[in-house]
Amino acid sequence: MALKLKRSLNFHITRTFIPSSLFVCLAWASVFIPSHLLPGAPFVVVAFCCLNHCISTLSFLGRVTLGITILLSLASMYSSLNSITPPIAYNTNLDVWIFGCFFLVCSTLLETVTVVALKHWKALDRRSAKVGDKSSKSDGINSSTKTRDEIERLSTKVDRWFALTSFFIFAVFSLVYWVDLLKNEKKADIGS
C-alpha cells in the first residue's frame, strides 16, 4: 500500500504570498506619493527639530512611518506563520519569500534615507554658500529657489529610478521563486 500526500498551496497563497506582495507594492506606492502629503510621527518630528534637520526631513517622516509599519506587519505575519508550522532546522521556501519581501521593504526605507540625505547635504551647501556670499538679497532668494528646484528634481529622479528598479527586482525574484517552487513540486511528484 502506498500513501501519497500532496501539499496544497492555497492556504499560503491567500494568507502569505498575496498579502506580502501587497505589502511590497504598498512600500513602492510610498515612493510615488508626494512626501509632503504623508503625516509624520510627532515624537520623531521633535527629535529632528531638536537636531536642526526639521526643514529637510520633516516631509519624509510619513514615508518612514509607513515603511516601518509595513515591516512590522511583515514581521507579525512571519511570526504567526512560524507559530502554525512545525519547527525545522533549515530554511523553507516560505522563509525565502518573506525575507525577500523584507529586503524590498527595507530597501524602500533606505531609498527614503538616501533622498533625505541628499536634501540635507544640498541644504548645508546652500547655507554655506549664503554665509560666504555677500550678494544682494534678491540674488540669494533666486539662488535658493534654483537650488530647491534642483533638489526636488534630483529626489524625484531617485524616487522614479528606485521604483522602476525595485519593480524589476521583485518581478525577477517572483519569477525565479515560483519557477523553482513549481519545479521542486514536480520533482517531488515524480519521485514518489
pLDDT at 53: 46
pLDDT in tens, 84-129: 888 889 988 899 999 999 999 999 989 888 887 777 776 666 666 6
Residue among 152, 146, 165, 168 nearest 34 (CA): 152
Per DSSP, the three-state class of 58 is helix
Cite the DSSP H helix spans in the chain: 10-12, 18-32, 42-50, 54-57, 61-84, 93-132, 137-191
Fold of 37-191: Methane Monooxygenase Hydroxylase; Chain G, domain 1 (1.20.58)
Residue among 114, 112, 119, 118 nearest 56 (CA): 119
- Does 48 score more than 50 pLDDT? no
Report how far residue 112's alpha carbon sits from residue 171's, in angstroms, rounded to the nearest whole number: 21
Q: Is 102 or 186 the better-scoring residue by pLDDT?
A: 102
- State the pLDDT confidence band at 65, using cuts at 50, 70 and 90: confident
Contact, 54 vs 48, CB < 8 A? yes
pLDDT at 37: 55
pLDDT in tens, 152-173: 788 788 888 998 999 999 999 9
Q: Is 62 or 47 the better-scoring residue by pLDDT?
A: 62
Which grid cell sits at 136? 544682494
Report how far residue 170's alpha carbon sits from residue 29's, in angstroms, rounded to the nearest whole number: 14
Instruction: Spell out the domain ranges in the chain.
Output: 37-191
Mean pLDDT confidence for 50-79: 74
